[in-house]
Amino acid sequence: MVLGAMLDSGLEEGALRSELAKLGLSGYHLEVERVVRAGLAGTQARVVLDDPSPTERYLAEIEGIITSSALPETVQMRALDVFRRLGAAEATVHGIALERVHFHEVGAIDAIVDIVGAAIGLDLLGVDRVYASSLPLGHGMVRSQHGLLPLPAPATLALIAEARAPSRPVDIEAELVTPTGAAILTSLAAFGQPPMAIDRIGTGFGMRELPWPNALRLWLGEAADGGLETDEVTVIDTNLDDCTPEMAGFAMERLLEAGALDVFFTPVQMKKNRPGILLTVLAAPARADRLARLMLRETTSLGVRFRTSHRLICPRREEIVTTIYGPMRVKIKSIDGRDVVCPEYEECARIARQRGVPLADVYAAVLASQTRTEG
């Protein structure tokens, strides 16, 4: 459905096929067809296998296929990110180490083409940022290599939970979000609808017949309102003068794990000349009540305060930049028509540990990559 929507929005079919050929995979062909469902026209893309027998591959095998290809580095990194996130979800579901995960359905050629094809499509279409709506979840059972499993499929649910992606229930016995689809969206997209000027729309159809058009719609366009985004957050705070540092630190960990956007402490002077702390939590409005209850459970607070705050946000995206230490994932902030590279601490710390160099040197290398790009 992702490939169908991309092709329907203007992705050149020949260019997609040419890039997919760089994987060096055989035993399949890509069928592309214009279809109409319930009066809605769009494109259906199908990966048809010469041998539909189940295929098992370990993550390392899939990584080898991708990294040994002649695909652009940014495409490889995006595709690897999707598979690694999916692998981590499968490892969690089955209670095993990541390197022991062997993919069944998602290790087959069609899943590899779907995921790598999505990364190729974003590259060819020149897409900087991807956003997605909440995910529709049906109910019932689905048949897999492990037998019958409840819907949403365990890996799908693990991916949604790990990304804290919003979902909505749909009263139908059907799988509406597959593990592959969930992995693509939770890896490559942010969940929300930014202001934008829409240039093109693509509609990709799935194979399943539903009471409504089984379609994924892709909107392509430019950021509106000067490129800045707006939203609202709920600010929850409480004053604490009898909470130990250990308790406060643990509360911060729990709040971040539960989906807080940010948690911070501010020193305050309270009644009876007691030094205290102001615990402040920033939350998406839908999570505010849950986080407030967690604050009350995990601290000595007797009550919390709520207020709504309006935010003006710089658009940001993840990219791969080339540094003297190799390719690194960074955040790119856009402001006033200029892109600013923002090093990611975890990525920089990983490289610093691997190379045995100071963290500051890795930060400097990332920032230098922007200078070279601009030059």
Mean pLDDT score, 269-289: 92
CA dist 157 and 159 (Å) reads 5
Nearest to 261 by CA among 240, 279, 287: 287
Contact criterion met (CB below 8 Å) for 74 and 29 = no
Mean pLDDT score, 14-22: 97
Q: Return the CATH fold of 230-313.
A: Alpha-Beta Plaits (3.30.70)
Q: What is the pLDDT of residue 227?
A: 64
Mean pLDDT score, 277-301: 94
Distance between start and end Cα atoms, the chain: 39
Instruction: Calculate helix-pair angle for 73-94, 109-125, nearest 10 degrees.
Output: 140
Q: What is the pLDDT of residue 129?
A: 84
Q: What is the pLDDT of residues 170-190, one digit of tens each?
A: 999 999 999 999 999 999 998
Choice between 222 and 202, residue whose per-residue pLDDT is larger: 202
| Mean pLDDT value across the chain | 90
As given in the structure block, the two tokens for residue 126 are: 């020149």
Q: What is the pLDDT of residue 104?
A: 58
Mean pLDDT score, 226-234: 77
Choice between 281 and 96, residue whose per-residue pLDDT is larger: 281
Contact criterion met (CB below 8 Å) for 3 and 204 = yes
Q: What is the pLDDT of residue 232?
A: 85
Choice between 331 and 265, residue whose per-residue pLDDT is larger: 265
User: 375 pLDDT exceeds 70?
Assistant: no
Q: What is the pLDDT of residue 371?
A: 56
Query: Which residues fall within 8 angstroms of residue 72, CB to CB, at 6 or more apart?
Result: 123
pTM greater than the 0.75 cutoff? no
Mean pLDDT score, 215-232: 82
User: 313 pLDDT exceeds 90?
Assistant: no
As given in the structure block, the two tokens for residue 81 are: 């990110």
pLDDT classification of 280: cutoffs 50, 70, 90: very high
User: 373 pLDDT exceeds 70?
Assistant: no
DSSP structure string for 182-224 = HHHHHHH-EES---EEEEEEEEEE-SS--SS--EEEEEEEEE-
Contact criterion met (CB below 8 Å) for 299 and 281 = no
Q: What is the pLDDT of residue 225?
A: 60
Ranges of each domain in the chain: 2-226, 230-313, 316-374
Q: What is the pLDDT of residue 221?
A: 92
As given in the structure block, the two tokens for residue 272 are: 């009876």
Across 42-51, 117-126, 215-224, which has the greatest mean pLDDT?
117-126
Q: What is the pLDDT of residue 337?
A: 75
Q: What is the pLDDT of residues 26-84, one digit of tens each?
A: 889 999 999 999 899 999 999 998 877 766 788 889 999 999 999 998 899 999 999 99
Q: What is the pLDDT of residues 185-219, one digit of tens each?
A: 999 998 888 778 899 999 999 999 999 999 999 99
Q: What is the pLDDT of residue 265?
A: 97
As given in the structure block, the two tokens for residue 369 are: 């990559």
